[in-house]
Amino acid sequence: MKTPLNIAILGCGTVGGGVAQILTQQKELLSKRAGREINLKFVAELNPEAAMKRFSLDEKIFYKNGQKVTIDEILADKDIDVVVETMGGKSDFVHNTCLNVLKNGKHLVTANKALLAERGRDIFLEAETRKLQLGFEAAVCGAIPIIKGIKECFTGDIIESVSGIMNGTSNYILTQMQLQNLGFAEALKLAQQNGYAEADPSLDINGGDASHKLILLIKLAYGLKLSMEELSVVGIEDINQNDMDFAKEINASIKLICLAKLKDGKVYATVRPMAVKNDNILSSVNYAVNAVRLDNKYSDTHFLIGKGAGSTETAMSIVSDIVFIARHGEVETYNEEEKYTLGDAKEIAFPYLVSFKTKNLPGTTGLITTCIGRQGINIETVGHNRFSGETADFSIETDVCCLKSIEKAIDDIKKENKELLLQEPKILPILY
């Protein structure tokens, strides 16, 4: 058997504690799978007593010579082979700590999607330069092995598109709105009460968290290093019960979808609510579950569905990275070559579900459909008109077109009658 692989963990909260639990409880089994002893040597934690009690951990991993183990001591310890970062956040301190882990010749494993997506370029470069492993399976969709799927399982294929539900909180909210007929505010409150949403749920409902995950998948699948500013993102804050009803009329469910599509040498990417047709498996993925769909050139379509968050679920993915490093630590990290460019997301071809709130005036539907037709857009169906006093709500399902054409049609409607539209139309791509 090879020499032992010594591990240190930075932070022992929900995820870090889960990692420590698995490494200590399953040490013998993991060591057999890895072909070498896997040894948790140290954990750097501000409140060791609470962590020991919460996760039933031995105090010896938290202390050295009677003092709490520090991050600096871990970085300087030449016997430490792998450092697991579970402090979270994208601060300068966390960023520099991750860089210093690699600069000190240690492999890095992290679940920190925000850090890697927004500030990870030099971290990836440092790992590549030093031929060290950077494990981040846990950063995208928790327990779902999508990172290894792209990096290892489909290296003989070309991934033509990645789509999926990559944020459990938003999916839980949309599911409650769809199945329980709740309003957005009610569904959000329920998600918070049940532990699926933070007190400040901004990153979940505005698409930020899902965007971090899509950026990492785009880097792996296509080699593109995108910033948050380059990605087209729309959150779920404005989705209401009318939108849910309009989607139901066309046999679809509304989901926050991450999409990256390869076409003619360009990658078109967006994160936004979409009306997912019921014959697409993603439409039936409900509550806090995550799902990723890969459409490949040679091996066709694949779905990976599972828990996208949680202490043990996320920790399991971190431990799987550790076992991989124990087996293949000397192997240079695989990265897709940057050979594609970013396309304009408004040029992605979709059918669209466009919902209007207008004054209740004769000829409204005719004017709107005429303006849409002027842009060369065929209309599949016009939904039921919902009258409420002086206002009306209705939806239109278009044939395949691009968002730019839809936006031009809306501009045309405004020119024809400046007072007709009572709010900006909702534009939902339809995903088959």
Q: What is the pLDDT of residues 398-419, one digit of tens each?
A: 999 999 999 999 999 999 999 9
CA 382, chain centre distance (Å): 33
* Residues 67, 73: Cα–Cα separation, whole Å: 11
* Residues 410, 431: Cα–Cα separation, whole Å: 21
Does 335 have pLDDT greater than 80?
no
Contacts of 259 (CB under 8 A, 6+ apart): 161, 162, 163, 214, 268, 269, 270, 271, 274, 348, 431
For Cα atoms 218, 289, 293, give the angle at the middle one, nearest 5 degrees. 40
| Token couple for 411 | 């501009």
The confidence score (pLDDT) of residue 1 equals 57
- Listed range (158-167, 182-191, 334-343, 372-381) with the worst mean pLDDT: 334-343
Query: Which of the following is catalytic: 41, 106, 113, 213?
Result: 213
Per domain, the residue ranges of the chain are 2-135, 153-306+339-345, 349-431
The confidence score (pLDDT) of residue 96 equals 98
Contact call for residues 253 and 387 (beta carbons, < 8 A): no
Does 326 have pLDDT greater than 80?
yes
> Considering only CA atoms, which of 77, 54, 56 is closest in space to residue 65?
77
User: Residue 90 catalytic?
Assistant: no
The confidence score (pLDDT) of residue 384 equals 83
Share of the chain above pLDDT 90, in %: 92
* Dihedral angle sign, alpha carbons of residues 351, 205, 190, 392: negative
Helix 168-180 vs helix 184-193: crossing angle, to nearest 10: 120
- In this prediction, residues 89-116 reach a mean pLDDT of 97
346 φ, ψ to 5°? -70, -10
The confidence score (pLDDT) of residue 336 equals 57
Task: List C-alpha distances in Å: 432 to 233, 263, 282, 287, 380.
Answer: 20, 17, 10, 20, 15
For Cα atoms 234, 236, 237, give the angle at the middle one, nearest 5 degrees. 105
Does 333 have pLDDT greater than 90?
no
Q: Give the count of beta carbons closer than 10 Å to the beta carbon of residue 297.
A: 11
- In this prediction, residues 228-255 reach a mean pLDDT of 96
Superfamily of domain 153-306+339-345, CATH level 4: Dihydrodipicolinate Reductase; domain 2 (3.30.360.10)
The confidence score (pLDDT) of residue 85 equals 98
Does 337 have pLDDT greater than 90?
no
Provide CATH code, domain 2-135. 3.40.50.720
What's the N-to-C CA distance of the chain in angstroms?
51
One fold for both 153-306+339-345 and 349-431? no
Q: Mean pLDDT over all residues of the chain?
A: 95
Does 332 have pLDDT greater than 80?
no
Task: List C-alpha distances in Å: 216 to 111, 225, 247, 284, 291.
Answer: 12, 8, 30, 25, 16
- In this prediction, residues 185-201 reach a mean pLDDT of 94
| pLDDT tens sequence across 376-394 | 999 999 988 888 889 999 9
Architecture of domain 349-431: 2-Layer Sandwich (3.30)
Contact call for residues 210 and 173 (beta carbons, < 8 A): no
Task: List C-alpha distances in Å: 394 to 38, 257, 277, 344, 380.
Answer: 60, 23, 19, 29, 14
